[in-house]
Structure formats: structure tokens, C-alpha cells
């Protein structure tokens, strides 16, 4: 799938494939552009290739074929310039144990080629509510705090691009809120964010664009709003005054579903089409003598879309 974007993407991935030495093909010809300053959510089930994709861009995994450029710098030929722009928050809680929070975050800044700057470190630690833990050894911190440390490390060198690999997996509500506040702040300052998450509502809330990946293939990349519009179904639920056993034959041609208790009739329609068919369906419903006491319409969530896409036979 080739997705074209406006000029000068901040990350350009071309025909990227990865086959591990075990023979497992983790990525199958991925082509993807990430726009400067956007929040891009990569959705996919476990083993879809999300982490492999991120790891290749960050230089941790070697691609089999294909190219990746970061801000115009090829990740193989010009790896210094490419990597210096990137911050990575890994999925696993991989931290040192005996270092203090301050030391480990300062270490990361040096590692990425930046001169010491206590003010930047202080700001990052304060933003992540780590300031009062700065002299604590990492081993004494809770899992949530360690996650904050990993984010602080990734931000220590003021990256232009931030990768968050399942950042909210197993963290509490407070940290999640803090994290998204920081992410929004970064985005406001022009930082491009690429995240993978299982919490689809967060992608729905945070992302500008969504990519769906499964079995190493990018199924689609779309503006979130467009995706919701394009694939989003609406449903009209009618609460019947008297439950029924089955849908009357007069209504058989409509996309209707009956709840197990026979009390709710759900009509699914595509809101993109000009004629939703609601009026004729309701007329036909009236003719059958069925009465309803309440009605409710709702739009499918990104999660529904996501599950629907993955379930579609390919």
C-alpha cells in the first residue's frame, strides 16, 4: 500500500521488509510517510510488526530490504543525524537499577551527543512529576515511576521525533493523563509523535492519523477523522414496546439485528451514503404494527473499526 502525503515527511519509509533469521517475516514491504508535527498512531494486534517497525527506524533492528529516512537522513548511511533526532520509549521497562533518576536521564542526554544542561533535565523531570525522585535509585521506584523515567530519558536530548511503543500498557490513570498532557505539549512545540497502543480510545483521542498494521502489512493509513467517517457505521437502536421472537419477513431486506431478549432492534447504516434508508425502514416497521418506545443512534468507535478491519478476510 502506498500512501502519499504532503511534501517533506519527517520520516519516509520505503518498501521496508524484515525477515528474522528464524525465517519469520515481521514486515512485508511497508511504505509509509510520517508528517512533520503530527501524532501518528500505529494500531495492530500483538506480533503485527509494530515494534519491529519502530526498532528499525531507531536503529535497533537491521532491515532486510527497503530504506528509511529521518528528516532527509538515511538511517543507514547518515545514522548519526537520523538517530540524534529521535527519542524512543520502549515497550519493556528496561532501566538501570543502581543509578539515580538524575544520573540516568543525564546519561541519555550525553549518549545522544548533547552537552550537559541541568535546566533541560530539570524541566523534563518536573514535567513528568519526577523531580522529587531525582536522587532516588531507579530500583526503588514503582513500575509507573520507571515508565516516567523511560519517557524522561527519551526526552532528555530534546528530540524532534518521539516514538512511544505501547507507553500506557499497565500504567495507572494518573500517569496516563500526565503522559498525554506531556505528549500534547510536545506536539504543540512541533515534536512529531509516533505511538503504538492497545488503548484505541487513546489513539482516537490523541492521534491525527492512524495506521493499521497486521501480520507485517499496513492495511491502511488514514486521517483519523476521515477513517472514522469512511469506515464508521452508525447504528440506530429501537427499543420495542413488546419484545418479538424474530424479525418480521416484511423487514427482512433491511440490515437489522435483534437483541437476544427480542426487545431491541438495531439498524446499521452507512452515514456516508445520501440515503440511509431510515425513513423507509421506519415506514415499513410501522406497517408491521411494531411499536417502539425509545430510539438511540450511535457511531462506531475506532475500536469497532479496528476490530472490523482485522476480522475482514484478506
Binding site for other proteins (CB under 8 A): 20-21, 58-62, 79-84, 86, 88, 90, 92, 94-99, 103, 106-115, 153
Least Cβ distance, residue 265 to other proteins (angstroms): 53
User: Cβ closer to other proteins: 60 or 226?
Assistant: 60
Least Cβ distance, residue 162 to other proteins (angstroms): 12
β-bridge pairing 192-196 and 161-165: parallel
| Of 74, 162, 7, nearest in space to 66 by CA | 74
User: Cβ closer to other proteins: 62 or 260?
Assistant: 62
User: Cβ closer to other proteins: 114 or 233?
Assistant: 114
Least Cβ distance, residue 99 to other proteins (angstroms): 8
Least Cβ distance, residue 185 to other proteins (angstroms): 23
User: Cβ closer to other proteins: 90 or 232?
Assistant: 90
Residue entry with cell 515494534? 51
Least Cβ distance, residue 21 to other proteins (angstroms): 7
With 0-12 / 13-18 / 19 or more C-beta atoms within 10 angstroms meaning exposed / middle / buried, residue 169 is middle
The Cα 63–Cα 149 span in angstroms is: 29
Q: Which DSSP letter does residue 284 get?
A: H
User: Cβ closer to other proteins: 85 or 209?
Assistant: 85
Lookup: cell for 289: 404494527
User: Cβ closer to other proteins: 109 or 209?
Assistant: 109
Print the SS3 string covering 214-265: ECCEEEEEEEHHHHHHHHCEEEEEEEECCCCCCCCHHHCCCCEEECCCCCEE
Q: Describe the chain by its helix, strand, coil percentages, rounded to 5.
A: 35, 30, 40
The Cα 180–Cα 272 span in angstroms is: 31
Least Cβ distance, residue 34 to other proteins (angstroms): 17
The Cα 281–Cα 7 span in angstroms is: 47
Residue/partner pairs of 247-251 with CB below 8 Å, 24 or more apart: 248/288, 248/290, 250/284, 250/287, 250/288, 251/281, 251/284, 251/285, 251/288
User: Cβ closer to other proteins: 49 or 232?
Assistant: 49
Lookup: cell for 101: 533518576
End-to-end CA distance of the chain: 14
Least Cβ distance, residue 199 to other proteins (angstroms): 23
Least Cβ distance, residue 95 to other proteins (angstroms): 7
User: Cβ closer to other proteins: 97 or 250?
Assistant: 97
Amino acid at each position: 500500500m502506498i500512501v502519499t502525503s504532503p511534501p517533506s515527511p519527517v520520516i519516509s519509509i520505503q518498501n521496508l521488509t524484515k525477515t528474522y533469521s528464524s525465517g519469520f517475516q515481521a514486515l512485508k514491504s511497508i511504505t509509509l510517510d510520517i508528517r512533520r508535527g503530527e501524532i501518528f498512531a500505529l494500531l495492530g494486534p500483538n506480533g503485527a510488526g509494530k515494534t519491529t517497525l519502530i526498532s528499525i527506524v531507531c536503529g535497533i533492528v537491521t532491515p532486510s530490504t527497503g530504506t528509511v529516512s529521518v528528516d532527509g537522513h538515511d538511517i543507514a548511511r547518515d545514522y548519526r543525524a537520523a538517530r540524534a533526532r529521535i527519542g524512543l520509549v520502549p515497550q519493556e521497562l528496561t532501566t538501570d537499577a543502581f543509578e539515580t533518576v538524575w544520573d540516568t536521564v543525564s546519561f541519555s542526554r550525553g549518549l545522544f551527543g548533547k552537552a550537559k544542561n541541568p535546566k533541560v533535565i530539570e524541566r523534563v523531570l518536573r514535567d513528568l512529576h519526577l523531580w522529587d525522585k531525582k536522587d532516588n535509585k531507579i530500583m526503588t521506584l514503582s513500575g509507573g515511576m520507571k515508565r516516567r523515567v523511560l519517557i524522561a530519558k527519551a526526552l532528555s536530548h530534546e528530540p524532534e521525533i518521539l516514538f512511544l511503543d505501547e507507553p500506557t500498557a499497565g500504567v495507572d490513570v494518573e500517569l496516563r493523563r500526565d503522559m498525554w498532557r506531556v505528549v500534547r505539549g510536545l506536539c504543540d512545540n512541533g515534536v512529531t509523535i509516533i505511538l503504538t497502543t492497545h488503548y484505541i480510545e487513546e489513539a482516537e483521542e490523541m492521534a491525527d492519523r492512524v495506521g493499521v498494521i497486521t501480520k507485517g502489512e499496513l492495511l491502511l493509513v488514514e486521517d483519523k477523522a476521515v477513517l472514522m467517517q469512511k469506515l464508521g457505521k452508525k447504528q440506530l437502536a429501537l427499543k420495542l414496546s413488546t419484545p418479538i421472537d424474530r424479525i418480521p419477513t416484511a423487514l427482512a431486506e433491511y440490515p437489522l439485528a435483534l437483541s437476544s431478549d427480542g426487545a431491541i432492534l438495531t439498524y446499521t447504516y452507512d452515514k456516508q451514503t445520501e440515503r440511509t434508508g431510515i425513513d423507509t425502514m421506519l415506514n415499513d416497521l410501522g406497517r408491521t404494527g411494531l411499536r417502539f418506545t425509545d430510539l438511540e443512534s450511535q457511531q462506531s468507535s475506532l475500536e469497532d473499526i479496528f476490530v472490523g478491519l482485522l476480522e475482514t478476510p484478506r
